Amino acid sequence: IFGKVIPFVVADVNIGILYVLALTSVGVYAITFSGWSSGSKYSLLGGIRSSAQMISYEISMGFSVAGVILLAESLRPIAIVNAQSGWMWNIVLQPVGFITFLVSAFAETNRLPFDLPEAEPELVGGYHTEYSSMKFAAFFLSEYANMIISSALIVTLYLGGWQIPYLEMLKLPSGLVVTLQVGAFIFKLIFMMFFFIWVRWSIPRFRYDQLMNIGWKVMFPLSLLNLLWAAILAMIL
């Protein structure tokens, strides 16, 4: 604007990614306490399930993000996006990390096939069984807000953020470039949200033992392998 670069962010925090992950992990307390305080055994079981599920998959998510940080050499989201110029998107460089982060995001947001905390056949409505009116609406809105934030994180970390491959070669006016980049980010975000909803209606719910086995016996080892691969890539690139 008037020859000055204005980043398309609210605040460019040096520990941006760690800050976002820390904030998303706080949701465990809200779900656990809401299930416990409602005085229902079904709600309590839903809260306990949710806390175990989110803690288990947060480890795999953290290691996946560590691989991205290794290549970007920064915790700042802007630096991570800038490191994915051209076709050097992290989904291409770290496909295993993308898969582990995506699966962990489904588990973190309690979306099918990982919605065990609110499994209707077993727990009626899960941790929000005893809530109604605006209290239930708050839980419902927070679930979809979490889905939007997770989609934005996936776009930022693995899909190049607002980057459009080789856009700078066209030498377009700066205003048009900004508009295209904003449109690209919104398009990628909508695509990921569509993918969340599409999976919800396509894959059946896992059993609780299957959920934990996937988290600890599949996702956790894969995230460690991806971290090793990212370290090798960082040495090569």
* 122-141 pLDDT per residue, tens: 556 667 677 778 877 888 88
Q: Is position 79 within any domain?
A: yes
Residue 22's pLDDT is: 84
pLDDT digits (tens, 9 = 90+) for 218-231: 999 999 999 999 99
Residue 59, in any domain of the structure: yes
Flag whether 1 is in a domain: no
Residue in this structure with the two tokens 């995230």, named with its chain if needed: 223
50-92 pLDDT, tens digit each: 788 888 888 899 999 999 999 988 888 888 998 888 788 999 9
Cis-peptide, bond into residue 113, ω within 30° of zero: yes
Number of structural domains (the chain) is: 1
SS3 readout for 113-180: CCCHHHCHHHHCCHHHCCCCHHHHHHHHHHHHHHHHHHHHHHHHHHCCCCCCCCHHHHCCCHHHHHHH
* pLDDT in the model for residue 28: 79
Task: Give yes or no for residue 162 having a pLDDT over 90.
Answer: no
pLDDT given at position 66: 92
Please, are residues 63 and 143 in contact by the beta-carbon 8 Å criterion? no
- Within a domain: 8: no
Classify residue 220: in a domain, yes or no: yes
Using CB atoms within 10 Å of the CB of residue 128, give its burial: 0 to 12 exposed, 13 to 18 middle, 19+ buried: buried
Rounded to the nearest 10°, the torsion over CA 128, 131, 132, 135 is -90
Residue 6 falls within a domain, yes or no?
Answer: no
Q: Which domain holds residue 201?
A: 16-236
Rounded Cα gap, residues 163 and 173, in angstroms: 16
Maximum CA extent, the chain: 63
- Residue 2 belongs to what H/E stretch? none
Residue pair 209/73 in contact (Cβ under 8 Å)? The answer is: no
Q: What is the pLDDT of residue 98?
A: 94
Contact partners, residue 8, CB within 8 Å, separation at least 6: 162, 178, 181, 182
Whether 104 contacts 219, CB under 8 Å: yes
Q: Is residue 137 part of a domain?
A: yes
Does residue 139 belong to any structural domain of this protein? yes
